[in-house]
Amino acid sequence: MGVISIVAAEIKRILIIDDDVVDRTAIIRQLLAAKIGVEIHEADSILEGKRRAKESEFDCIIVDYCLPDGDGIEFIKFLHAENISTPVIVLTGQGDEMVAVESMKAGAFDYLVKGNIKPEMLLQVIYASVRLRKTQLELQTAQKRAMQAEKMAFLGTMIAGIAHEINQPLNAIKLAAGVILFRSRKGEEIPPEKTLDTLSTIHARCERIEGIINNVRTFVRNDFLPIRMPCDIYRAVENVLEMLDDKISGSGITIHKNLPIQLPAVLGKMQLLEKVINNIIINAIHALEDSEGPDKQIYIEASLDKWVQLQISDNGTGIAEDIREKIFEPFFSTKSSGRGMGLGLAIVHSAIMDLGGEINCKNNTLGGATFTIYLPVWHGDSCD
């Protein structure tokens, strides 16, 4: 097909795809009558239209809905697959309203009915499509910039959080090692038990740093895309309580369990599920350690509605209303330095979301907090 050159204007290049030369000529005539400067390219098949759309940039493409080798919807899907953002206007016949609707659903910016096209209407539809696409591209650019700014802000927060948490055990290591070095350089004899205590301190602080790094690695990698398999939530809770037995008894905490053994399996991965439960119970323990009351209780209950629900409650200090919305945010923590860097609940939230579940938190009538986890029930190869 040939190229008709007119004076360049705001809309410089238009592609018309139609196998009927009479219809193409009619549209060209209308564009000439509209007196806009534009370069008009023609194609008489979907195949040729695809080739031209890939090889050259156009401000607008007008395509007949029905051509011998394909239709307008197929052409629009091709543009989307090729990441070509040129706005498309579909040509339809009289009474083809359903065709027009399907074309718009597929991504057409507008449609025109053959035999009913006037210069003013044609110009208006073209300009509206081009301007709408321009607005969409500007919005996408603004969204990308906002996302980049958010990522940079998050990165700054993460680095500051890591530095703050690591500095404390690092300073303790530096101080402990410095005392030994100072005394050694002075020629002092250091008792073996003092050296042992210092090494124990250094080892404990190194473990603290290792824990921080592992938490950050887990969070950043978002390593929560488990092989989905049936998991026994009763067994997961029992395993966690067994691991935390010394810490729980040492804190004077009483555990109350209401876990029906006959609960159906949930969708998950045992190790990940145990990590989630462990983090929530550790938070409850810390809340109770900060509580002045002698009666320290943790309640763990499970039930079945549509999903399996696991509730973990304590009678600790609860969560202030003004921070409840922030507790699942990364690096947000109300704990004192050295007891957490605000990743535990962020990891819990990400893990539950990746398992297709939900989690929420509220204060309870005991004065403490209740975390409720909702997990899909496993049904063979599927889940609800």
Which structure tokens are listed for 361?
């938190």
Q: Identify the domain boundary among 174, 191, 221.
A: 221
| Cα atoms in the 13 Å half-sphere on the side-chain side of 187 | 0
Instruction: Report if residue 126 sits inside a domain.
Output: no
Q: Tell me: do 249 and 361 sit in the same domain.
A: yes
Q: Tell me: do 42 and 103 sit in the same domain.
A: yes
Q: Check pLDDT > 90 for residue 372.
A: yes
Instruction: Report if residue 42 sits inside a domain.
Output: yes
pTM of the complete model: 0.46
Query: Per residue in 346-368, pLDDT tens?
Result: 778 877 877 778 888 899 988 88
The CATH number for 26's domain is 3.40.50.2300
> Biggest alpha carbon distance in the chain?
105
Report, as an integer, the average pLDDT of 35-52. Answer: 85
Question: What's the pLDDT score for residue 320?
Answer: 78
List of residues 6+ apart from 246 with CB closer than 8 A = none
**Cα–Cα distance for residue pair 134/278, rounded to 1 Å:** 50
Express as a percent the part of the chain with pLDDT over 70.
82
Query: Minimal CA–CA distance to 373: which of 266, 298, 284?
Result: 266
Question: What's the pLDDT score for residue 57?
Answer: 87
* Mean pLDDT of the chain, nearest integer: 80
Q: Map tokens 């990364």 to a residue.
A: 330
Instruction: Report if residue 280 sits inside a domain.
Output: yes
Query: Per residue in 234-272, pLDDT tens?
Result: 999 999 999 888 888 888 899 999 988 788 888 777 877
Which structure tokens are listed for 362?
């509220």
Q: Tell me: do 233 and 216 sit in the same domain.
A: no
Residues of the domain holding 189 = 150-221
**Cα–Cα distance for residue pair 207/171, rounded to 1 Å:** 14
Q: Identify the domain boundary among 164, 188, 221.
A: 221
Q: Identify the domain boundary among 68, 94, 117.
A: 117
How is the chain split among helix, strand and coil, in percent rounded to 5? 50, 20, 30
Question: What's the pLDDT score for residue 311?
Answer: 93
**Cα–Cα distance for residue pair 180/185, rounded to 1 Å:** 9
Q: What length does the chain have?
A: 384
Query: Per residue in 286-344, pLDDT tens?
Result: 888 877 777 899 999 999 888 899 999 999 888 877 777 777 766 556 555 445 545 66
**Cα–Cα distance for residue pair 300/277, rounded to 1 Å:** 10
* Residue 300 and residue 263 in contact, taking contact as beta carbons nearer than 8 Å: no
Q: Tell me: do 207 and 235 sit in the same domain.
A: no
Q: Tell me: do 252 and 216 sit in the same domain.
A: no
Q: Check pLDDT > 50 for residue 4.
A: no
Instruction: Report if residue 241 sits inside a domain.
Output: yes
Report, as an integer, the average pLDDT of 170-196. Answer: 87
Query: What total number of domains does the chain contain?
Result: 3
DSSP 323-383: GGGGTTSTT---SPTTS--S-HHHHHHHHHHHTT-EEEEEE-TTSSEEEEEEEPBEETTEE
* Residue 227 and residue 191 in contact, taking contact as beta carbons nearer than 8 Å: no
Instruction: Report if residue 132 sits inside a domain.
Output: no
Query: Per residue in 81-124, pLDDT tens?
Result: 888 888 998 888 766 778 778 888 888 888 888 877 777 778 88
Q: Tell me which DSSP letter residue 84 carries.
A: -
**Cα–Cα distance for residue pair 61/12, rounded to 1 Å:** 12
